[in-house]
Structure 1
Amino acid sequence: MLRVLVVDDHPLARAGMVGELQRVGEIEIVGEAHDVDSAVRAAHELGPDIVLLDVHLPGGQGGGGAEVVAKCQDLYPDTKTLAISVSDAAKDVVGVVRAGARGYVTKDVTGEKLADAVTRVADGDAAFSARLAGFVLDAFGASKDDVAERDNELDRLSAREQEVMRLIARGLSYKEVASDLFISVKTVETHVSAVLRKLQLSNRHELARWAAARRIV
């Protein structure tokens, strides 16, 4: 079971996330925190697999969720962060991702989608909706000097591998990619393995960052 620390300054919001995660996922809630200081302290004391972190938090030096992520980087990769917020503003998404968060979901997400995002981040993947992923891609865009290198790297991939790569980099699950392209999940897995091998990357999170840096998606 994945061990999750839930951080939110609103007790009802924490209770809702705890309840949903326990209902739909093989997830153990190891603790809760309500501000920057308690979140940093709990993360270091409990060593969870995932910190499910509200972006807007009181305390600390006023940096909110991004401050928590930055102060917990010494725990990575054993502990990863999934940000959650009512906000889908670009500045909030980019700020917490720059600090080191591995995903970002909004609070209108279903319990099933939240549990899936937690699992994907724990596995080393990125977890963003298509709209939020676009903010990240824009923020980590490549300069014109990188265009030739990007094109050379893309030439290593077949047309189908490029299609799969773009969808995976946007945060879609294997099942969603398979549905979009009318292929089997097993075929998607095969293409992803080929893409990672050809680009010399280790996992989906690295692939998302690679695509973002080159403004491919």
Structure 2
Amino acid sequence: MTERLTVVIVDDHSIFRSGLRADLDDALEVLGEAATVDEAIETIERLQPDVVLLDVHLPGGQGGGGAEVLRRAKLGRTRALALSVSDSAEDVVGVIRAGARGYITKGSSGPQVSRAVATIAGGDAVFSPRLAGFVLDAFGAPAGEQAETDAELDRLSKREREVMRFIARGFAYKEVAAELFISIKTVETHVSAVLRKLQLSSRHELTAWALERKLL
């Protein structure tokens, strides 16, 4: 008899957790649930499931949501599958950089989620169809000319480069402030300067800019 894959569901909406649990394939065993960053870390470390189904946006912790869970938790053998209503570049890049092996949207059916869990448990990556093209384009984008990149980076101070890399990886302002031991207001000031100097208009564009130049 094949041993069932074990799962932990992390989402701050109890109705969604209940619905997902009911829709998952019988070949999956749900060991537990969690609703916040801290609960998720404790539950994952205690139960050590094969896969954690992890919402990207979670309350608690330092405001880093699912990405914070992956950075702080001792995952051991556990693999993470991000599950979110969001398909924004920031969310996708942030949680994948933090260690998730896949990213699917909450519009996925129970069988689709179940297949994704099995794929992740088997060591492969998986993305919703509408995200696959973005992920391939973003992470496989060719690097720009080195001289051009160096010239662009020369516009930034050392601290602005540090902030730029954290923000492009999907860190929240509060997390960047904690990492660099500066205030959130100072982070906001540096981000504004970075966007202005690089002639970008949003964090989304900054993430794409950094990925294209293989700076993450």
Percent of aligned pairs with the same residue? 54
Inter-partner Cα distance in structure 2 for 1:58 and 1:138? 31
Distance 1:45 1:113 in 2: 27
- The answer to whether residue 128 in structure 2 is matched with residue 129 in structure 1 is yes
- Which residue in 2 is equivalent to 1:59? 60
Aligned mates of 1:125, 1:57 — CA distance in 2: 25
Which among 10, 13, 28 is matched to residue 10 of structure 1?
Answer: 13
Counterpart residue number, 2:23? 20
Alignment map for 1:64-213 (pairs within 5 Å): 64-72=65-73, 74-76=74-76, 78-140=77-139, 141-143=141-143
Shift of 1:11: 0.3
Question: TM-score, structure 1 length as denominator?
Answer: 0.62
Cα displacement (A) at 1:136: 2.0
What is the alpha-carbon distance in structure 2 between the residues aligned to residue 81 and residue 93 of structure 1? Answer: 13
User: Where does residue 39 of structure 1 map in the other structure?
Assistant: 40
**Which amino acid in structure 2 is aligned with residue 143 of structure 1?**
A
Query: Which segment is superposed worse, 120-129 or 134-143?
Result: 134-143
Residue 131 of structure 2 aligns to a residue whose secondary structure is: helix
Q: Which runs of 5+ in 1 are unaligned?
A: 147-211
User: Secondary structure of the equivalent of 1:75?
Assistant: coil
Give 3-state SS (helix, strand or coil) of 2:59's partner.
coil
Shift of 1:71: 1.6
Task: Provide the aligned length of Structure 1 versus Structure 2.
Answer: 145
Q: Distance in 2 between matches of 1:66 and 1:137?
A: 20
Give 1 or 2 for the bigger CA radius of gyration: 2
Runs of 4+ in 1 over 6 A off after TM superposition: none
Gaps of 5+ in 2: 147-210
> C-alpha root-mean-square deviation of aligned residues, in Å?
2.1
User: Could you state the TM-score of these two structures normalised by the residue count of structure 2?
Assistant: 0.63
SS at match of 2:97: helix
